[in-house]
Amino acid sequence: MPMPEWYDALPPRDRSLSSRWGTEEFRAEIREWCEGIVGPVTSMTQQKLRGWATVWRVETADGVWYAKQNCPGQQIELPLMAALARLVPDRVVPVRAVGDGLLITPDQGDVFYQTAGDDLENWVRLAREAALLQRELVPHHAQLLALGMTELRPEAAVDYLSARIEQYAALAPDDPRRLAPDVAARLRAHLPAVRRWAEQVTGLGLPTTLNHNDLHENNVFDVDGRLRFFDFGDALVTEPLGVLLIPLNILGEKLQADGDDARLWRVVDAALEVWSDLVSAAELRAALPAALQLGRLGRVESWVRCQPSLSDDELAQWGPVAATWLGTLDADPPVGRAP
């Protein structure tokens, strides 16, 4: 009998952390933990409170820090950030401490969104630096998996998608996460196309590596001329090209650009060049639309992880998002045309 796959069932509801984040008890706990790391706290402000994470701005006499706790489904960020701080220290936000389900990092100033402006070359830089981060982590693939990271290889795309279609379609009609029957039928009919994408991307022979899975200009700092990435709660191990899905979606909307826009391809080529010693640029360009479509599965998985920790009100708001991402599998990629 075959062993069950990690995606064979949706994770159960678990509000063990998120239900506490607005309480005075949690505030006292996180303050005590932070003071044990960075000394007496002069001020604490909750900067973020979502069902999937809370972030606190912590001030001390020596500076400003940010303390974070993720929902159970995204706790992988803690050991991952600690590992990245060792493996690629110049490419990520430094980590002061990880422990007790908490992460604390020093203030890095304004995010790239605030400092970079709308210059296209800054998006080019973002894409290239993200690809270089991925490339530097290729030799550490086994270490990433040993941390407990989820690997979604292109070869598993059809099985993963098939499982998620049926799981979300089988939910009760009043469940906000439910995949509508007509969308489920449409996606089942689309599985042969997904199989072709997976075969094309697999055929490139690129190594699997870290995929930030939510890459945009609010998740990176420019520090002394070097980009430092953070917010890795959504991260997976995948083929490398799908990481461009989110930045290309965002930039395409900003520029009102279609899939043939030379400005988007300028950003793409900056990332593809990092891999062009392994596969020709022409082959990478040809396979990119398929890789971007498979990248949508990473966004599905991100919401699969987050949904169990949402309150009823949050579930009403955010519950449909995984099904919405599933429903985009037959939409056009942000650049090119998927075969």
The structure's pTM equals 0.97
Domain parsing of the chain, residue ranges: 18-326
How would you write the pLDDT of the chain (339 residues) with one tens digit per residue?
A: 677 899 999 999 999 999 999 999 999 999 999 999 999 999 999 999 999 999 999 999 999 999 999 999 999 999 999 999 999 999 999 999 999 999 999 999 999 989 887 789 999 999 999 999 999 999 999 999 999 999 999 999 999 999 999 999 999 999 999 999 999 999 999 999 999 999 999 999 999 999 999 999 999 999 999 999 999 999 999 999 999 999 999 999 999 999 999 999 999 999 999 999 999 999 999 999 999 999 999 999 999 999 999 999 999 999 999 999 999 999 999 999 877
Report d(CA 265, CA 270) in Å as an integer.
9
User: Could you tell me the two tokens for 95?
Assistant: 């980590």
Collapse the DSSP code of 165 into the 3-class scheme (helix H, G, I; strand E, B; otherwise coil) and give the result. Answer: helix
DSSP state of 119: -
Cβ neighbours, 10 Å, residue 258: 11
Report d(CA 229, CA 246) in Å as an integer.
15
Closest CA to 132 of 331, 320, 310, 277: 277
Question: Which option is the CATH number for 18-326: 3.90.1200.10, 3.30.300.10, 3.40.50.1820, 3.30.230.10?
Answer: 3.90.1200.10
Strands 220-223 and 209-211: unpaired
Q: In the prediction, which pLDDT does 1 show?
A: 66
Give the angle 269-292-332 at the CA atoms, nearest 5°. 105
The DSSP H or E segment spanning 297 is helix 281-306
Q: How many CA atoms lie within 13 A of 196 on its CB side?
A: 9
Collapse the DSSP code of 39 into the 3-class scheme (helix H, G, I; strand E, B; otherwise coil) and give the result. Answer: coil
Report d(CA 52, CA 61) in Å as an integer.
30
Report d(CA 145, CA 237) in Å as an integer.
8
